[in-house]
Amino acid sequence: MSGLLGCGTFILMPFMMYYVYKLASNLRVFAPVIWVLGMFIPCINLILLLYLSSRAYHVLKGAGFRVGLMGANLEEIERRMEGM
């Protein structure tokens, strides 16, 4: 079982690194590459993900979007994007 879990982690790691870099870049946090490298440090990666999630939450709330447990309402975002 642990071999399967390790293999799954190894396969998903590039996707996580890409999306962490993309989120950190869009949130304009300091040095997105350092955030990606932080994903390799156990326990620190959880703290970094929680911080990025919190920043994204506050940016969306500040823009007037309703944000729930699973993120913002995609229909509301699409409606606002069409209205621009």
Burial 1-34 (b: 16+ CB within 10 A, else e): eeeeeeeeeeeeeeeebeebeebbeeeeeeebee
Record the pTM: 0.75
Longest dimension (CA), the chain: 50
- For position 4, what pLDDT does the model report? 66
Q: Within a 10 A sphere around the Cβ of 78, how many other Cβ atoms? A: 10
Please write the tens of the pLDDT for every residue from 29-51.
888 999 999 988 888 989 999 99
> Is 48:39 a contact under the CB 8 Å cutoff?
yes
